[in-house]
Structure 1
């Protein structure tokens, strides 16, 4: 088997790393940026922390902040027009996965105009050109969109999330500055952090996992388990915030290259049909999906148990695996993740429509255990 690993050209890490932005821009000869962000980050001054750096360096830019929490085809289409109007030659993406996913869609269409119909990008699109250069500055520690070759956009007409996979969309530069995350609310910190944990666990056990990806995912699991409670309960703690910022990036490096599984397959329709935040959807499913996959993932669950500190000498593999599942469930409860679908407004009669989309989601085939629609129905019902 031949394995492929794609990463950013360069990444910067550490509190205050956004100050490297002018050096990056000038070294690459960029002239004008389209800043892609959302209105919340503009309102609460998080985006301003980056815009001030651009202003001080006299780097021209225009702002496109019409990004929804679950970005849509319309967000991308309008962003392409904004980019053309601005005559921008690069994009600065500030935000969580929503802003970065929107930026990827904009960047791809700008350099591959034959895909102007954004819906045509679903799945693995045969784009020919790298997207408009993106410098990505995450404000959440979860999606790792700054280092992945994936982006997710909602097709409003079908009410369905499109997972787009394209090596040409990876940001050229990632700047992981934990200071941009200090004001992230407790609930969002928890949700995005558990999204990162889901990435790490699914990336560890997915069908395409191999030694290199395993190395990254185990370390990410260890770090997220250690730093997420700190980041949630002490939001300005530099160690907790920077630990999570690095951990989610590490998880992203690997899962971007090996894929995910049915947890993400089931989470996507929850966002598309019920507007559930992606991180919450992934987190609420994670312990149940882990137990579903346990029979085929025992050995790797033992490694998870060791990474989160619940492995004890003399344990059987089955005991260690169950301890790993229990500890991930405990972490989810500790940081305040809802435990039942009804808490999110999802009813039993909604489950068939969710399952219909989940079984065809691009992430589902990567699951290590074969999964049927009936399995998915039962998994949803388990946490109803």
Structure 2
């Protein structure tokens, strides 16, 4: 069987990358943008950095800001209506995963109207047309939504997240500008950074991993492991490295899938509105311990990438523990809680476990699992 690998057409990296938006929009003949960004980014002037570029270039746009963390079906429906009303022909997504996921769903529905029922996009939707062109500007170093073929929409009525996988949704251009991330508070920097590390580690050990994806994931682990603490401290070099590290992780996991860390995190976001990065960061070490027997020698390379010395002289048990301990230490150093005691209610575990088992990320887990085993993992964290 052939291994497929999909990346976006073009990406710009480094300080000032957003200045290229005008040239890309004009060069592609775009006429009017619907700018998707959340209310906080507008309030604090982050979105304005991009709209200033558009204004200076004389490019038309309207802003859509009905976007919440863990975006809902209703947010997407409102975005579709806004796009049509604006007479736009492309999208600019500014923000973290929430803005980009909303833009992806809107873009897919506009060009594939038979999927107007947002729920029909769950899983691998058989869309026929590429989505409306998206220019993606991340403001967090975590989701890598600007380079992935995935997006997640919350079904509020059913208290669950829908993982959508569609090669037609990938943004055509990404502008990965660390200056757009400089205003992130420490807590958000830590959470999104641990989300990126989870992408890299799960992508490296997932059932679909192969040599090309391994190359991306190991480099991402190395960059994130050395730079997240500095990014949380708002050191510019740390911000720049994290912007790149999370993007590289996205290049990998988008093509090979994830595992049950994400499967278990998604229901927490749907039921409790838990920030996705926090949920991943708390769950990751516990699931790494659970998955260790199914990972061969890969934890040795994870430990090495995390900066652990002497891994070649360690036994398998030792380097597996070293890898997990390095992840735990990083999470602790950037202020991530150690457990889910303040989040999960024991009576909700059956629902959470079934939701996690049904999640689209679960089949990629390197170790076969069950609803009962996932329930035990949740219980071990409360």
Which range, TM-score by smaller chain? over 0.9
Corresponding residue SS for 2:196: helix
Residue 336 (str. 1) matches residue 335 (str. 2) = yes
Post-superposition shift, 1:102? 0.1
Post-superposition shift, 1:309? 1.6
- Residue 111 of structure 2 is matched in structure 1 by 111
- Residue 213 of structure 1 is matched in structure 2 by 213
Which of the residues 301, 304, 310 maps onto 1:303?
301
- Residue 316 of structure 2 is matched in structure 1 by 317
CA contact (8 A) 1:311 1:320 kept: no
Residue 178 (str. 1) matches residue 188 (str. 2) = no
- Provide the rounded CA distance (Å) in 2 between the counterparts of 1:131 and 1:314: 50
- Provide the rounded CA distance (Å) in 1 between the counterparts of 2:309 and 2:115: 50
- Residue 378 of structure 2 is matched in structure 1 by 380
- Report matched runs for 1:79-94 at 5 Å: 79-94=79-94
- Provide the rounded CA distance (Å) in 2 between the counterparts of 1:185 and 1:281: 18
Post-superposition shift, 1:321? 1.1
- Report matched runs for 1:199-210 at 5 Å: 199-210=199-210
- Provide the rounded CA distance (Å) in 1 between the counterparts of 2:213 and 2:125: 24
Residue 38 (str. 1) matches residue 38 (str. 2) = yes
Post-superposition shift, 1:95? 0.1
Post-superposition shift, 1:159? 1.4
CA contact (8 A) 1:201 1:217 kept: yes
CA contact (8 A) 2:264 2:353 kept: yes
- Report matched runs for 1:186-201 at 5 Å: 186-201=186-201
Post-superposition shift, 1:317? 2.0
CA contact (8 A) 1:298 1:321 kept: no
Post-superposition shift, 1:343? 2.3
What TM-score comes out, normalization by structure 2 length?
A: 0.99
- Report matched runs for 1:215-364 at 5 Å: 215-233=215-233, 235=234, 237-312=235-310, 313-344=312-343, 346-364=344-362
Post-superposition shift, 1:308? 1.1
Post-superposition shift, 1:296? 1.1
- Report matched runs for 1:5-20 at 5 Å: 5-20=5-20
- Residue 53 of structure 1 is matched in structure 2 by 53
Post-superposition shift, 1:298? 3.5
Post-superposition shift, 1:367? 0.2
- Residue 71 of structure 2 is matched in structure 1 by 71
Deviations 1:283-312 (A, max 9, x none): 110000000000111411000111112141
CA contact (8 A) 2:149 2:166 kept: yes
Post-superposition shift, 1:170? 0.3
- Provide the rounded CA distance (Å) in 2 between the counterparts of 1:301 and 1:311: 13
Post-superposition shift, 1:348? 1.4
- Provide the rounded CA distance (Å) in 2 between the counterparts of 1:162 and 1:80: 18
Corresponding residue SS for 2:341: helix
Aligned length: 381
Deviations 1:147-180 (A, max 9, x none): 0000000012211100000000000100100000
Corresponding residue SS for 1:67: coil
Post-superposition shift, 1:238? 2.0
Bigger drift between 77-86 and 289-298 goes to 289-298
Which ranges of structure 2 fall in alignment gaps of 5 or more residues?
A: none
Which ranges of structure 1 fall in alignment gaps of 5 or more residues?
A: none
Deviations 1:127-162 (A, max 9, x none): 000000000000000000000000000012211100
Post-superposition shift, 1:222? 0.4
What TM-score comes out, normalization by structure 1 length?
A: 0.98
Corresponding residue SS for 2:84: helix
Corresponding residue SS for 1:380: helix
- Residue 365 of structure 1 is matched in structure 2 by 363
Residue 98 (str. 1) matches residue 98 (str. 2) = yes
* Dislocated runs of 4+, deviation >4 Å: none
- Residue 144 of structure 1 is matched in structure 2 by 144
Post-superposition shift, 1:269? 0.3
